[in-house]
Amino acid sequence: MEKARILIAEDEKNQRDLLEGFLKKEGFSVEAVSNGREALQTLGNSFFDIVLLDYKMPELDGLHTLKEVRQRYPELPVVMMTAYGTVETAVASMKEGALDYLTKPIELDELLLILQKVIERSQLIRENKELRARLHERYAFANIVYESPKMEEVMGLVSRVAPSQATVLIRGESGTGKELIANAIHYASARAKKSLVKVSCAAIPETLLESELFGHEKGAFTGAIQRRIGRFEEAHEGTLFLDEIGELSPSTQVKLLRILQEKEFQRLGSNMTLKADVRVLAATNRHLEEAMKKGQFREDLYYRLNVISIQLPPLRERREDIPLLVDYFLKKYAKENQKTVTDISQEARHLLFRHPYPGNVRELENLIERAVVLCRGDLITTEDLPFHLREGRPEEPKGVHQKGKGLTDSLEEIEKELILKALQQHQGVQTKAAESLGISERVLRYKMKKYALRQA
């Protein structure tokens, strides 16, 4: 409260001096003016946290000043003061955006309570904005680690889909990053300022899932002791991410289909129809087409969800991303665990590169976190990796690389040579060289920079 700056607009000098003196003694920074025009001029020249605005003033009264303040500074809190404490005056002020209302003669203790409430509200809004900004930065496309052509294709589709309102079905094996893609879509959309609500359809018992999604009224069933707001209401004007959508029961599938079609629903135990302005993103690791053939998943719901389909490749099909992911997770968990680990030995990298990863990126992340925690020095070695990884190490093929060089070095040399040949063959035209190599031009530029190659 001591740092809050308050502007007082009050035409009565005695009242103005009283408020200014009292608030300064309470530790506030205060500036006082005598009418609405002066208030608007002062706001244009300096920053304030709160405005105390008299309702009846000469030249420009409080209500018209309030309208102008709301238009110019929509987030600036305004508290109205008036000797005309009628219901109509309060309603008019609140309609124009006043946060609260004080009746003269002003009780100073009441004024302090209202200021405290306004400051706490402003602080909460500010923290909310900062949190959303951090989340937006965290889930930005630039923070998704990849360089493989398959992921390049996926991210190209994600960037085109994100600004739309279309329902998206994200498919892929467990651990491929479906939730990360959902985050990226939401925070790159027009709904980023609203909530991203997540529900794991497999983690909630079937008997409770309907209540979780749509909410319920008090007494709707045994144990419903009060009204509960469902996830669809919580996600209003935002995004709802339904993970493991293939696990929905037939009855819940019917209700989900209705809300996708009609944009409305009812809480359990209520006849009131509620509107739902929600964008739905769904994810599954199941083969929904097979589930439809067996009668386990509704065909009409499938087509409602599958407006846009994004298929995430397993890690074994995007091995080019493994070195990048290894380095990313190494830095992340070294920082989290306050370890001085800075690198991984060539042999350990070889094991990590050759592993089939049935658990995909999540499995790789767990392996690196474990290795960082167990590592005794600055370098992760094969001893820091699980026994099954070391036991299943395949024998390196002979003649692939020079003595003393690891697999990664050998692959990089081959890759460098192929890029050089492609550039030479196409007279340095990167678009054609990338096409002949089966990669995107962006990936080619990245690799040229990585290997310090100039155009042929």
* Per-residue CA distances from 140 to 143, 145, 182, 189, 264 (Å): 6, 11, 11, 11, 31
pLDDT band at 74 (very low <50, low <70, confident <90, very high): confident
In whole angstroms, give the CA distance from residue 363 to residue 369: 10
Q: In this predicted structure, what is the pLDDT of residue 55?
A: 85
Looking at per-residue pLDDT, the higher value among 346 and 447 belongs to 346
- Give per-residue pLDDT as tens, 359-378: 999 999 999 999 999 999 99
**pLDDT over threshold 50, residue 395:** no
Domain 5-131, CATH 3.40.50.2300 — does that match?
yes
Backbone angles phi, psi at 385, to 5 degrees: -95, 155
Cis peptide before 356 (omega within 30 of 0): no
* Per-residue CA distances from 97 to 31, 76, 90, 92, 256 (Å): 22, 10, 11, 9, 37
Mean pLDDT value of segment 409-416: 70
Q: Which of 22, 77, 25 is nearest to 51 (CA)?
A: 77
**pLDDT over threshold 50, residue 399:** no
- Give per-residue pLDDT as tens, 269-328: 888 889 889 999 999 999 999 999 999 999 999 999 999 999 999 999 999 999 999 999
pLDDT band at 237 (very low <50, low <70, confident <90, very high): very high
- Give per-residue pLDDT as tens, 186-213: 988 999 888 899 999 988 888 889 899 9
- Whole-model pTM: value is 0.61
In whole angstroms, give the CA distance from residue 136 to residue 35: 42
Query: Domain 407-450: which CATH class?
Result: mainly alpha
In whole angstroms, give the CA distance from residue 193 to residue 196: 9
Computed over every residue of the chain, the mean pLDDT equals: 86
Domain borders along the chain are 5-131, 146-313, 316-391, 407-450
- Give per-residue pLDDT as tens, 82-105: 876 666 777 777 788 888 888 888
Region of poorest pLDDT, from 58-72, 209-223, 261-275, 386-400: 386-400
Domain covering 146-313, topology: Rossmann fold (3.40.50)
Mean pLDDT value of segment 229-233: 92
The residues that bridge with 311 in the sheet, in sequence order, are: 171
Q: In this predicted structure, what is the pLDDT of residue 398?
A: 39
Three-state SS for 334? helix
Same fold, 146-313 and 407-450: no
Mean pLDDT value of segment 215-243: 90
* Per-residue CA distances from 99 to 1, 68, 102 (Å): 17, 15, 11
Q: Which helix (H) or strand (E) holds 420?
A: helix 407-425
pLDDT band at 245 (very low <50, low <70, confident <90, very high): very high
Domain covering 316-391, topology: Helicase, Ruva Protein; domain 3 (1.10.8)
